[in-house]
Chains A and B, each alone.
Chain A
Amino acid sequence: MKPAPFKYIVASSLAEALALKARYGEEARFLAGGQSLIPAMNFRLARPTVLIDINGLTELASIDRSNAQTIRLGALTRYRVMEKDAGFLGACQLFADALPQIAHPQIRNRGTIGGNLCHADPASELPAVVVAMQARMRIKSSRGERELAAADFFVAPLTTDLAAEEMLAEIAFPAQSPRSGASFMEVARRRGDFALAGVAAIVSLDEEDRCSGVRLVFCGVGETPIDASTSASSLIGQRCTDKTIAAAAADVRRMVAPAGNIHASAEYQRHIAEILTRRAIATACDRIAHAA
C-alpha cells in the first residue's frame, strides 16, 4: 500500500474534531477533500499517524450570502459546489474566473476551499484570490476561536499560521461594491497545471471613473501569495487607460521577484506578471463598465 499506516477517525461533530486535534496535535491531519494530502501521503512526503475525517461535518460546508455585506464560506465547501452556485459566482468574480482553472473536474468534485488554503501551495489560485479579497480567516480550536487576515495566514510555502490544534473553519470576505470589478488570470503550461504566474485583480472606480483602489495579488511568483497592490498605486486617481495600465504593469514587473523554476525562468515569470497585470486590470475595468 502506498501511504504509511495511520489511525483513521471519523469526527461526528466539530467539537469532537477539535478535541481530537488538540489531543494528537502535529501528528494528526484533518482529512477534507484529500486532493493535496492524499497525493503527498501516496509519495510518503506526508506521514500523519492520525487522520481526522471531517467530511461529515456539514455545518462546515456552506455558502452563506444572507448578509449583503459579507460572504461566508465554510472551509469544507467543495470547489464543485461553488462552481455550480450561479449566485455565488455572480457575487464573486474572482472565484468565477479562478475555479475552472483549478486542476480538473474530478479533483474539483472532492477538493475543498479550506483544504486548498491550508495546503498553502504558493502556485495555487485561491490563496491569491482570498488575499486579494481581503478575506478574514476564522480559525477554531478546542480552546476557542480567532480571526486572521488572509494576508497573515500564509507564512511560507506549504505553511500557514495555524497552530497544531487549530482548524480553519470559515473564510469571510466583503461583498464586491458595485463600482468595482475583478479578474483572475493565469498562465499554465497545460490546462489544470499549476500556474507559472497568476494574478487576482480588483479595481475600484469613483463617480468620475477615476481609479480609487487597486488590489493585485499574484500566485506562483513567490513563497506565498504576493501582494503587489502598492506597485500598481500609480493608477490611483487616474483613469484606467491603456497607457496608465501599462505604466502600472511595468512597475509591477519591477516589483515581483520570482525565483524561476524548471518550467519558466524568473525573467519569463516577470514578463507574464506584467502582461497578466495589464490584461486583468483592463478586464476588471471593462466589467465595471458593462455592469453599469
Chain B
Amino acid sequence: MQPEGHDIELSVNGVQYRRVVEARMLLSDFLRHELMLAGTHVGCEHGVCGACTILLDGAPVRSCLMFAVQAGGHELSTVEGLSAASGELNPLQQAMHEHHGLQCGYCTPGILMTMTAYLKENPDPSELELREALSGNLCRCTGYQNIVDAMLKAAEMMRAAAP
C-alpha cells in the first residue's frame, strides 16, 4: 500500500507544529522522531508500562496508544515543557531530585506527566490515593517508595505555594 500522508497541526508545550505523517505513525514515535522531543520514553508500546504518558488537552494518555494523526488540532504537553525556560526544575522535578525518586530515569517522564495532571486535580492526596494514581506507571528500579515520598512532598510544596 502506498503510504498516504496526512497534514496535521498541533501544539506541543505551547509550540505550534505542522507536519505530514503516515497514518500508522504512533504519537510516541512522532514526538520522538519527528519533533525530536525524546523526553517521552517508549517502553512496552502496548499501553502497559506508562513510560510514554503525555498530556492530551491536559489529560494523561498513553502516546503509544494513539496515532499522531489523531492528535491534530489538540494541545499536548510532554516532559520537556515542565521546567522553566531558565532550566529551573518545577516542584515535581525538584522533589524527585531531592528524594532520589529515580535511578535509571526511564519511567520518570511518564510518572511526571501522570502526576502533573493528578496533583492538579487532587492537590492533597493520601499516600494510598497517590499509590493508586501511580499504578499505571511501572518503575523497575526504585520500588516506588521514593517516588511516593517525592510526590507527597511536591504536593505539599505546591499547596504551600498556592495563594
Chain A interfacial positions (CB closer than 8 Å to B): 1-8, 31, 34-35, 38-39, 41-43, 49, 51, 53, 55, 80, 103-107, 109-110, 190-192
Contact = CB atoms under 8 A, between A and B. Distances in A.
Given A7-B4, A106-B114, 16 more contacts: A1-B26, A2-B26, A3-B26, A5-B1, A6-B23, A8-B4, A8-B67, A34-B65, A38-B66, A42-B26, A51-B23, A103-B47, A106-B61, A107-B62, A110-B62, A192-B136
B155 interface: no
Contact of A191 (B1, B69, B132): B132
A42 B136 CA distance: 19
Given A191-B132, A191-B135, A7 B23 contact: yes
B69 A8 contact: yes
B59 interface: yes
Contacts of A42: 26, 45-46, 64
A104 B46 contact: no
The listed residue with most A CB atoms (<10 A of its CB), out of B6, B53, B65, B136, is B65
Nearest to A49: B1
A106 B50 contact: yes
A1 B65 contact: no
A79 to B, nearest CB: 12
A3 to B, nearest CB: 5
B66 A110 contact: yes
Interface in B21-78: 22-26, 29, 45-47, 50, 53, 56, 59-62, 64-67, 69-70
Contacts of B163: none
Given A8-B67, A39-B65, A192-B135, A107 B47 contact: yes
B148 interface: no
Given A35-B65, A110-B66, A8 B136 contact: no
A47 to B, nearest CB: 10
A169 to B, nearest CB: 21
A106 B4 contact: no
Interface of B: 1, 3-4, 6, 22-26, 29, 45-47, 50, 53, 56, 59-62, 64-67, 69-70, 114, 118, 132-133, 135-136
B45 A104 contact: no
Contacts of B114: 105-106
B91 to A, nearest CB: 21
A178 to B, nearest CB: 31
A46 to B, nearest CB: 12
Contacts of B56: 109
Nearest to A53: B70
B22 A105 contact: no
Contacts of A43: 46
A38 B23 contact: no
A36 to B, nearest CB: 9
Contacts of A191: 132, 135
A104 B136 contact: yes
A80 B65 contact: no
9 contacts: A6-B1, A38-B26, A39-B65, A103-B47, A104-B135, A105-B133, A107-B65, A109-B60, A110-B66
A2 to B, nearest CB: 6
A50 to B, nearest CB: 10
Given A1-B24, A1-B26, A110-B61, A34 B66 contact: yes
Contacts of A107: 47, 62, 65, 136
Contact of B70 (A49, A55, A103, A190): A55
Contacts of B47: 35, 38-39, 103, 107
B113 to A, nearest CB: 9
